[in-house]
Amino acid sequence: MKQGFWKNLPIPAVLLAPMANVTDVAFRSLFAKYGPPDVYWTEFVSVEGLLSEGREMILPDLWFEKNQRPIVAQIFGNKPAQFEQVAFQLAAMGFDGIDINMGCPDKNVLKQGSGAALCQTPELAKEIIAATKRGAPKLPVSVKARIGWNENEVERWVSDLLEAEPSAITMHARTKKEMSKVPARWDVLKQMVSFVAKEIPDKEKRPLLFGNGDVFSLEEADRRVRETGVDGVMIGRGIFGNPFFFNREKNITDLSIAERLAVLIEHTNLFEKYFGAGTAPNGGRLKNFAVMKKHYKAYVNDFEGAKELRVALMAAESLAEISKILQSHRYEL
């Protein structure tokens, strides 16, 4: 059942979560430099969008560099035929795997019958996995999901997914209804691991099982693996402001304030390189500079004067302005 790079992945593994307008090629470049995860994910991308006239503006969400491997492309939608077509394209782009988003709780995604809505239509979910495999028969196909819609349905839902034989399942430990409003329910992930072990006694024939939700350090990830038996942990919000997250030798807290802010500037430079002025087909920007501001909130914390500096950075509209602000606050980089 485990295909491609999943067969040789070090277990337990730590994975970089797919997050729209966060885990782009620029941010992943910092992880590749300062502390790589065991697997990288792209931002999630609409299959319908990739088959539309607006494809060229969406493709940058799938950009990756050769030092960002293994790299998994995450896609979402609700039409199996579109998944098959896009899977064929992704294989040609050189991805190491394809992941299907069956967990996003965003209202616009749910209205399409995509993301977390697929747990309510398991037959369609299985068709989508099968279609993706047909489109890219040499690539492993995985799934990222939630434990249920309004309540814990993990056994029923995972049973459906197992029938489609994905190489890996990453389960976010909350329902769609819970969003991120309650603590992640890791006890349910322990239940999932036990259930899959009973359903498929031969460990070699099981998909890899990963947990996701409320993990903010590698030590916590290690503890969750011990407590639940998952094969590893996917990290989402915990990586904000910390491209050293996966580095077991050095963390962002080991850096001086000036060094941390130098990483902020490096990140901004990379963002402008890939998505700044002149990168769009019309000569404009591929991504609004405001995308970087969620990162500034995370980088500038827990030191004297951080609040004032953060407020100033949130008003900036360019790399040049960011540099001037840091200098005016007496941070020479």
CA distances from 322 to 17, 261, 331 (A): 27, 10, 11
Q: Is 0.85 topped by the overall pTM? A: yes
Q: What's the pLDDT at 1?
A: 64
| Closest residue by Cα to residue 70 from 125, 134, 2 | 2
What are the helix (H) ranges across the chain? Answer: 25-34, 47-50, 55-58, 80-93, 107-111, 122-135, 154-163, 186-199, 218-228, 257-275, 293-299, 306-314, 319-328
119 as an active site residue: the answer is no
Structure tokens, 89: 């394209």
* Residue 38 CB neighbours (<10 A): 16
Buried b (16+ CB within 10 A) or exposed e, 85-122: bbbebbbeeebbbbbbbbbbbeeebbeeebbbbbbbeb
Can you name the CATH fold of 4-239? TIM Barrel (3.20.20)
Q: Per-domain residue ranges for the chain?
A: 4-239, 255-328
Q: What's the pLDDT at 331?
A: 65
Which residues are CB-contacts of 107 (< 8 A; sequence separation ≥ 6)? none
CA distance 47 to 59: 11
pLDDT digits (tens, 9 = 90+) for 54-76: 899 999 999 999 999 999 999 99
Q: Which of the following is catalytic: 19, 62, 72, 104? A: 104
Q: What's the pLDDT at 264?
A: 96
Q: What's the pLDDT at 156?
A: 97
Which residues are CB-contacts of 67 (< 8 A; sequence separation ≥ 6)? 29, 32, 36
pLDDT digits (tens, 9 = 90+) for 308-322: 999 999 999 999 999
Q: What's the pLDDT at 332?
A: 52
Q: In the chain, which stretches have pLDDT less than 70?
A: 1, 330-333
Query: Are 52 and 89 contacting, i.e. CB atoms less than 8 angstroms apart?
Result: no
